[in-house]
């Protein structure tokens, strides 16, 4: 069956778009395959592309983001029945042999009907004393919604999403509605921003035809409304087939509708007697059983109770989003980007260790971000307001390193014309980071051991013992236990450093983070180069995810920066990346053997193999035959898998 996107809300409502092997983009610009004229939609908002038998939606750094089933995503594989929200438009993803039930709302203009009744919350309050059954039901709803706001699942889903479902289920118990929706609106607008729907019976989401006439009237008059009316518009055949004959409108096209507003007061307006802001509308529909005025009174009273619950849930959701933004800001400040399992584990350990003063040894390959981990430990610690002093033990000679660490007194050696404070002393009450500590000479290791044990030291050429209040972090890409066995590193110092050991994962262990990191680097360097970045081609993404990245994150950033600087289009293409990536990964098995990259790859393999055969396997002689540097040929042999 054809895979497609069906627009169920927004300017393109009722339209259907077939998805094939070609990537499609969605946005406001006319260059997109699906164009949406909506100011909330970016020029190039997102793309949908095939990945084997699945499809992936990717946010192209839009301003307002992409929501899949109500959750904001950067990219995600989509499944049959998923709803993709882009600005004010919602698309249903349909694939496979069975089309999913259509969920969401279908906004339609309706004809005015004389058969309508309005009912306000103030009128309801005057009559509720004589109806103890109604009061009991309101108390039941109040208790249920209060519990729903506090359930643990709120941490994993929208707090409002839980409330909407529960509210509609409770209303179905006392009102003969066949389907219902809770329609939330943007501030200052009557157009829906989010809608939650429910069908009576199995409680699954369904399609609800919502009347703009009803919504606007309820919001303008701030009262509940009962109306019988005829629908003036029709739904496309694509949408009808997606519904698969469900009875969501009767043959005559008439419907009985109940609607009531969700009204709240702003935090600084509690002294006013009436609510000042509308959150949305509760909307119930029946095709067979007409609603009565008693139903109107009840839903109006329920809306008053529900409004308070929705306001609290909205406030909690705002706090959650603010917390996410703050966490993102901290992450960006530390440049700790990644959501893979190894990175989540590392970040959790950093959070626990940072609050202590324990010495930490950070181990990992070159380019994995050991200094970033050290800075994160400092920034999240009680010492964050003090200095973070980093010392590269491999970048200085033995004499200079000792002076840099401990400082020196005037006249302690030739050229010491005055007293100099060392880095340890300058970091008082702060953090010292000893990078590449495996390169430190043995006699300096003994002095560092004393600092760790006694928290005291002497300057070079000095006799006075100075006390220190510092935290020490160290990092190395060497196996220090192997260095201890070889006699190049002190065993006692190793155990003093390794009070807590953290390991930074190699990039090849973080496959889920590669594209996230690459996009971050591309956006950063595009801003510096004043070049628009609209994403990577599928071939580039394949190369980035298939390469081993021996240089880790540093090599990835260099490759992306090169592509941004040398590339010419808005999207980074295969030819913009370093040639070594293609050499190591090889051509796409599904790609034609006649493509330029495949021909070049095969030619290199043949030329190097012939040179090695002629030289009897000698790389040095083969390099001379090919006229290339021996080191380059070694790398080429590895990349071309000719070892």
Q: DSSP per residue over 111-131, as a string?
A: ---SSEEEE-HHHHHHHGGG-
pLDDT in tens, 221-274: 888 888 876 544 444 444 444 433 333 334 334 568 899 998 876 554 444 445
Q: Do 286 and 256 touch, CB atoms closer than 8 A?
A: yes
Whether the per-residue pLDDT at 157 is higher than 50: the answer is no
Give the chain's count of helices (H) and strands (E).
20, 28
> Above pLDDT 70, what percent of the chain?
75
pLDDT in tens, 529-556: 888 887 888 888 888 888 888 889 999 9
pLDDT in tens, 86-133: 988 888 888 765 554 555 565 566 655 556 777 765 555 555 454 556
Mean pLDDT within 35-44: 88
Tokens of 195: 């809608």
Q: pTM of the predicted model, to two decimals?
A: 0.47
Q: pLDDT band at 218, cuts 50/70/90?
A: confident
* CA dist., res. 35 & res. 15, Å (int): 12
Bridging pattern class, strands 54-59 and 75-78: antiparallel
Tokens of 633: 């040929």
Buried b / exposed e along 394-423 (16+ C-beta atoms within 10 A): eeeeeeebbbbbbbbbeebeeeeeeebebb
Q: DSSP per residue over 521-555, as a string?
A: HHHHHHHHHT-----B-HHHHHHHHHS--TTHHHH
pLDDT at residue number 134: 65
Helix (H, G, I), strand (E, B) or coil at 262: strand
Q: What is the mean pLDDT of the chain?
A: 78
pLDDT in tens, 345-390: 998 899 889 989 999 999 999 988 899 999 999 988 999 889 999 9
Whether the per-residue pLDDT at 333 is higher than 60: the answer is no
Q: pLDDT band at 409, cuts 50/70/90?
A: confident
Whether the per-residue pLDDT at 488 is higher than 80: the answer is yes
Tokens of 202: 């199995």
Q: DSSP per residue over 502-527, as a string?
A: EEPPPGGG-GGGHHHHHHHHHHHHHH
Q: pLDDT band at 435, cuts 50/70/90?
A: very high
Q: Do 435 and 392 touch, CB atoms closer than 8 A?
A: yes
Whether the per-residue pLDDT at 643 is higher than 70: the answer is no
């Amino acid at each position: 069956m054809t895979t497609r996107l069906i627009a169920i809300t927004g300017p393109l409502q009722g339209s259907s778009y077939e998805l094939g092997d070609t990537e499609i983009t969605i946005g406001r610009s006319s260059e997109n395959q699906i164009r949406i004229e909506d100011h909330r939609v970016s020029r190039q908002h997102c793309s949908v592309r095939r990945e084997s038998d699945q499809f992936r939606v990717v946010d192209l750094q839009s301003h307002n983001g992409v929501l899949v089933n109500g959750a904001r995503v950067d990219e995600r594989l989509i499944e049959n029945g998923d709803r993709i929200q882009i600005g004010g438009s919602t698309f249903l993803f349909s694939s496979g042999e069975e089309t999913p039930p259509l969920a969401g709302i279908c906004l339609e203009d309706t004809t005015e009907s004389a058969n309508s009744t309005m009912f306000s919350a103030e009128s309801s309050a005057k009559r509720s004393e004589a109806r103890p059954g109604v009061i009991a039901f309101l108390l039941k709803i109040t208790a249920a919604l209060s519990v729903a706001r506090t359930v643990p699942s709120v941490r994993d889903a929208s707090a409002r999403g839980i409330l909407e479902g529960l509210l509609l289920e409770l209303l179905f118990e006392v009102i003969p509605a066949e389907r219902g929706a809770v329609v939330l609106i943007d501030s200052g607008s009557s157009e829906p921003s989010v809608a939650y729907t429910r069908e009576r019976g199995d409680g699954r989401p369904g399609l609800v035809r919502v009347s703009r006439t009803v919504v606007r009237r309820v919001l303008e008059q701030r009262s509940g409304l009962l109306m019988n009316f005829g629908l003036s518009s029709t739904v496309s055949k694509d949408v009808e087939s997606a519904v698969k004959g469900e009875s969501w409108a009767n043959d005559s096209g008439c419907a009985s509708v109940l609607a009531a507003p969700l009204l709240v007061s702003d935090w600084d307006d509690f002294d006013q007697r009436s609510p000042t802001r509308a959150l949305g509308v509760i909307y119930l529909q029946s095709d067979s059983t007409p609603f009565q005025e008693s139903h109107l009174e009840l839903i109006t009273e329920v809306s008053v109770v529900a409004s308070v619950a929705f306001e609290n849930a909205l406030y909690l959701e705002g706090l959650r989003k603010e917390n996410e933004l703050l966490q993102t800001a901290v992450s960006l400040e530390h440049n700790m980007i990644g959501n893979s399992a190894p990175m989540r584990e590392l970040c959790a350990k950093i959070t626990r260790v940072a609050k202590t003063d324990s010495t930490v040894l950070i181990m990992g390959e070159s380019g994995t971000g050991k200094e970033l981990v050290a800075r994160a430990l400092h920034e999240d610690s009680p010492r964050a307001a003090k200095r973070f002093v980093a010392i590269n033990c491999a970048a200085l000679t033995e004499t200079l390193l000792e002076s840099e660490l401990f400082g020196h007194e005037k006249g302690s050696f030739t050229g010491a014309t005055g007293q100099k404070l060392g880095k340890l002393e300058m970091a008082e009450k702060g953090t010292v980071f000893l990078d590449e500590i495996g390169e430190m000479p043995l006699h300096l290791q003994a002095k560092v051991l004393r600092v760790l044990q006694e928290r005291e030291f002497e300057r070079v050429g000095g006799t006075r013992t100075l006390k220190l209040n510092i935290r020490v972090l160290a990092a190395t890409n060497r196996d220090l236990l192997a260095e201890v066995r070889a006699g190049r590193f002190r065993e006692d110092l190793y155990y003093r450093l390794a009070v807590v050991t953290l390991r930074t994962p190699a990039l090849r262990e973080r496959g889920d983070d590669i594209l996230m990191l690459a996009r971050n680097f591309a956006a950063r360097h595009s801003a510096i180069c004043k070049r628009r970045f609209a994403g990577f081609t599928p071939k580039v993404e394949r190369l980035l995810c298939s390469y081993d990245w021996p240089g880790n994150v540093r090599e990835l950033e260099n490759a992306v920066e090169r592509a941004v600087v040398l590339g010419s289009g808005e999207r980074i293409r295969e030819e913009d990346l370093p040639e070594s990536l293609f050499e190591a990964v090889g051509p796409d098995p599904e790609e034609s053997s006649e493509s330029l990259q495949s021909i070049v790859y095969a030619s290199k393999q043949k030329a190097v193999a012939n040179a090695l055969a002629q030289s009897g396997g000698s790389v040095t002689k083969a390099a001379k035959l090919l006229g290339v540097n021996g080191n380059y040929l070694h790398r080429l042999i590895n990349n071309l898998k000719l070892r």
